[in-house]
């Protein structure tokens, strides 16, 4: 009996001719400008104008200006990423993992809008989040700054090198890999925005917050591992289509992003442990008060539990100061 050699089936991305990304690519500057104007209107006239005060009342008004900006930024980033996830899921999966569809495939049958058009727009929306955060936030960690600047340049460069006269033969695959990074950032970095918002709303619910930060730690870690596997699988499957420069630069860029994500995961773990410690301390204080004849479990609040320990916020998360030691939250990784 003869044994037939088995050959791995090539991935669709390695076989299809993707062609130009979108007719909208030359208008990227206009698209990003519109995105930033929309963010300004949402921030200035809607959130800060009336909505966020009506939703949160004194929780928001009692914050410092530093924390207010972070709170608003998490709402804008979280809602925008949710929109990106809903709108871009189909184009992303179709172009990156399905055999037939390409950038020029209509988004809906008979429509003039293509999958590439949608991917260009959502790419500018994601980049716009990082630009808005760099401009709007008062305090950012060095990790957040490097991650955001790197994402902005790489995302825009992937579009620029697909245009004439710079059109690179592997620019389209590079753009797809950028959408892979963006997709994992959108999915696994969405919950950390919710986590920090809940941290601001319920600063003394230590049991709840410890669970939230633990989930955030695991989701960001899972996102980093999954993103690495998928990205390197696509990168290796299309190895023959890459030029030497991209073969060297792409893995290095991925390592840099992964390092920022791992940093954020570790910080979320520290935030989880901190909340567990505060929970134990609150329980011990309440027990001592109860034993002493006064049941103050419902209104106990130590200086450590109050909002006074919070000094500012980092990138996607917060900069808290506990006894003078800075603790940066995991959303600081962008990612």
CA distance 18 to 23: 14
Please give the average per-residue pLDDT across 35-49, as a whole number. 97
260 or 53: which carries more pLDDT confidence? 53
Q: Identify whether 1 is part of a domain.
A: no
C-alpha separations of 195 from 23, 138, 191, 271, 335 in Å: 38, 20, 6, 11, 15
Nearest to 71 by CA among 123, 136, 19: 136
pLDDT in tens, 163-172: 876 677 777 8
Q: Which of 140-144, 175-179, 213-217 has the highest mean pLDDT?
A: 213-217
Residue 320 phi/psi, 5-degree rounding, is -105, 155
Tell me the angle at which helices 244-291 and 206-237 cross, rounded to the nearest 10 degrees: 170
pTM, whole model, 2 decimals? 0.81
CA distance 67 to 64: 5
Side by side, which strands form the sheet with 310-312? 310-312, 319-322, 325-328
Residue range(s) defining the domain that contains residue 214: 17-280
Nearest to 69 by CA among 124, 132, 147: 132
Q: Identify whether 311 is part of a domain.
A: no
Q: Identify whether 180 is part of a domain.
A: yes
Check: CB of residue 120 under 8 Å from CB of residue 159: yes
Check: CB of residue 72 under 8 Å from CB of residue 43: yes
Q: How does 5-33 read in b/e, with b if 16+ C-beta sit within 10 Å?
A: eeeeeebbbeebebebbbebbeebeebbe
Q: Identify whether 333 is part of a domain.
A: no
Q: Is the pLDDT of residue 63 over 90?
A: yes
CA distance 14 to 96: 10
C-alpha separations of 305 from 216, 227, 302 in Å: 21, 36, 5
Q: Identify whether 12 is part of a domain.
A: no
Domains in the chain: how many in total? 1
Q: Identify whether 164 is part of a domain.
A: yes
Q: Identify whether 291 is part of a domain.
A: no
**pLDDT-based confidence at residue 292 (cuts at 50, 70, 90):** low
**pLDDT of res. 309:** 35
Any idea what DSSP says for residue 311? E
One DSSP character per residue, 178-232 reads HHHHHHHHHHHTHHHHHHHHHHHH-TT-HHHHHHHHHHHHHHHHHHHHHHHHHHH
**pLDDT of res. 109:** 86
C-alpha separations of 72 from 40, 88, 137, 146, 294 in Å: 11, 24, 10, 22, 40
**pLDDT of res. 14:** 59
Q: Is the pLDDT of residue 312 over 60?
A: no
- Which of 157-161, 224-228, 289-293 shows the lowest mean pLDDT across its residues? 289-293
> Which residue, chain included where needed, has tokens 């030359």?
26
């Amino acid at each position: 009996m003869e044994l037939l050699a088995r050959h791995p089936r090539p991935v669709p991305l390695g076989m299809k001719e993707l062609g130009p990304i979108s007719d909208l690519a030359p208008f990227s500057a206009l698209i990003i400008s519109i995105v930033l104007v929309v963010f300004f209107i949402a921030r200035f006239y809607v959130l800060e104008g009336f909505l966020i005060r009506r939703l949160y009342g004194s929780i928001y008004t009692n914050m410092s200006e530093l924390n207010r900006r972070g709170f608003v930024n998490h709402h804008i980033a979280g809602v925008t990423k949710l929109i990106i996830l809903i709108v871009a899921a189909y184009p992303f999966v179709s172009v990156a993992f399905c055999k037939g569809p390409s950038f020029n495939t209509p988004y809906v049958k008979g429509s003039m809008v293509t999958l590439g058009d949608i991917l260009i727009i959502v790419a500018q929306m994601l980049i716009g989040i990082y630009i808005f955060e760099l401009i709007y936030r008062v305090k950012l960690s060095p990790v957040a700054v490097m991650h955001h600047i790197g994402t902005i340049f790489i995302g825009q460069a992937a579009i620029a090198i697909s245009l004439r006269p710079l059109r690179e033969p592997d620019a389209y695959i590079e753009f797809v890999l950028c959408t892979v990074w963006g997709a994992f950032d959108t999915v696994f970095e969405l919950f950390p925005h919710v986590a920090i918002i809940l941290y601001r709303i319920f600063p003394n619910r230590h049991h709840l917050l410890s669970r939230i930060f633990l989930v955030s730690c695991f989701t960001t870690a899972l996102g980093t591992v999954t993103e690495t596997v998928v990205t390197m699988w696509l990168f290796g499957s299309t190895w023959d289509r890459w030029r030497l420069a991209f073969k060297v630069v792409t893995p290095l860029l991925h390592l840099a992003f992964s390092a920022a994500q791992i940093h954020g995961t570790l910080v979320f773990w520290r935030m989880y442990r901190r909340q567990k410690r505060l929970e134990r301390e609150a329980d011990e204080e309440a027990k001592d008060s109860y034993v002493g004849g006064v049941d103050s479990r419902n209104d106990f609040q130590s200086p450590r539990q109050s909002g006074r320990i919070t000094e500012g916020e980092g990138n996607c998360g917060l900069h808290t100061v506990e006894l003078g030691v800075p603790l940066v939250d995991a959303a600081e990784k962008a990612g």
